[in-house]
Chains A and B, each alone.
Chain A
């Protein structure tokens, strides 16, 4: 049985519209105008137990709204969803026992108290025995490297430290599924890496499925097996991350350094020079137009190679291209 099954999920809501200035305010008092916002427009997908699924999209794409429907916080306008066998919005409390949630921008830890207090509270809320709560806190403190942070009031923690505590707290009751809404938002590179490593480890060791929303392609690359890309409330792409890379990462960058000075014209069909120097060159080529061996043959013929680096473009770029093509199709 799939961990999550979603069919034709739709969420629309009304927002009040008001012209600027005092006149606009007065008019809206007597003749309020409402605009219908379609946040999610018929999303369907499945997620297997233990899978790490990335839900990627730009701001306002409908990622958070979808995750909030899947946790039972929001009721959909139309469509069906089943999460671990429950209808989230009809069986919210039953489902809550089986899932862990983190909403990156909204802390769940009690702000003025040490994180340990929230962990103990969660133990009671999820009906864990005191001994089990202690065991879990111990294990999570190790996995997330937060042992020294647990007794510090949450308000005194850095954002990265707090997020590690947030994610650890969401795993206290051994959920089968972790729903993470922007877990890496606002974090620096090191803090992001910390969080990703810990999530990956816990997912592997406890078999917990992870559905994470992010607009950071790095989360996807580091954590996820599969990706769903949403744009304007619709799914524009879903596939394995490895397939995404194979299909869209055809553009490679190659940088070479020679033993001596080179004065060569590296022009070849499908190849673009990005930077040239006296001892080296940086080029970009498309493997579908120019085979890699042709590029390498051309480069090695130019002189004695001392160093060569071939790299993929950042995933952000790839995803931006998918958004653009989706926007063109939708528009």
Chain B
């Protein structure tokens, strides 16, 4: 574990080498939150009620803060793996005594934690100004473990897509599909509470909701039952994806050809 912790810390230091770039990218959450606020304020005004399907404007905006934090800071490991295969730098990772997937998990989580903190401060600060404080302080207790689960799931899926680079030259189509599915079925733009029942049932049965909807909705309305269900669901999906990732990795390394000799 010591080596993975060291990789995590060094990647964190690497991120700090260019703080401007990280902060600049995190500023994106400000216009997002402003647009969401305007959109949902008009929607709530039009419905002439303070609550739609159990969510107030304050709930909705804080839900969106957490959903955006998860999305904007998720481990972007698909491109990292794909680039390492294409430019041959994978040789260095594979010639060291650590697990390839463990190395990428540690280094991508460093970026994730860094981005998440910045996005939470900026996005949360803006939401606080617009609709007031988070609905419940318990939300922070509940959301932390669920965030780790969400990112682990995100990592597994992104790494699965990244490993496809061992076979195909360009993985961007797979990334595009995954991102759009995560947007729609994860409840990134609209909380699943507002979906028709049939679509919500489908979405809740898929891993995307365990990554975005579950942590974000429990942040605004924390319950022990809800937390246990979400954590159980994340664990189930994780077991499935970790198994799949392990299998695909073992297959991938046997077909690797390193570009440039």
Contacts and interface: CB of A to CB of B under 8 A. Distances in A.
B256 A75 contact: yes
Given A72-B95, A106-B92, A124-B3, A117 B261 contact: no
Q: Interface size bucket, B side? A: 20 to 34
A34 to B, nearest CB: 12
A63 B261 CA distance: 8
A59 B253 CA distance: 24
Contact of A124 (B6, B94, B99, B255): B6
Interface in B219-261: 253-258, 260-261
Contact of A73 (B7, B14, B87, B256): B256
B261 A65 contact: yes
Given A93-B99, A118-B10, A125-B97, 6 more contacts: A68-B91, A72-B94, A75-B256, A101-B92, A101-B95, A103-B88
B136 interface: no
B91 A103 contact: yes
A113 B10 contact: yes
Interface of B: 2-3, 6-7, 10, 13-14, 17-18, 87-92, 94-99, 169, 253-258, 260-261
A75 B17 contact: no
Task: Rank and list the top 9 A-B pairs by shortest CB-CB distance, nearest first.
Answer: A64-B261, A124-B6, A96-B97, A112-B17, A101-B95, A108-B92, A13-B257, A73-B94, A75-B254
A117 B10 contact: yes
Contacts of B10: 110, 113, 117-118, 121
Contacts of A112: 14, 17-18
A126 B97 contact: yes
B2 to A, nearest CB: 6
Contacts of A101: 91-92, 95
A12 B51 CA distance: 64
A124 B88 CA distance: 24
A13 B261 CA distance: 12
Interface in A84-101: 89, 92-94, 96-97, 99, 101
Given A112-B17, A113-B13, A117-B10, A74 B95 contact: no
Contacts of B257: 13, 74
B25 to A, nearest CB: 16
Contact of B87 (A64, A75, A106): A106
B261 A73 contact: no
Contacts of A107: 89, 92
Contacts of B7: 121, 125
B253 to A, nearest CB: 7
A247 to B, nearest CB: 29
A73 B10 CA distance: 24
A73 B7 CA distance: 20
Indicate the member of B88, B99, B261 with the most A CB atoms within 10 Å: B261
16 contacts: A64-B258, A64-B261, A68-B91, A73-B90, A73-B91, A74-B258, A89-B253, A93-B99, A96-B96, A103-B91, A106-B89, A106-B92, A117-B10, A117-B13, A124-B2, A127-B3
B253 A75 contact: yes
Given A71-B95, A74-B256, A75-B254, A125 B3 contact: yes
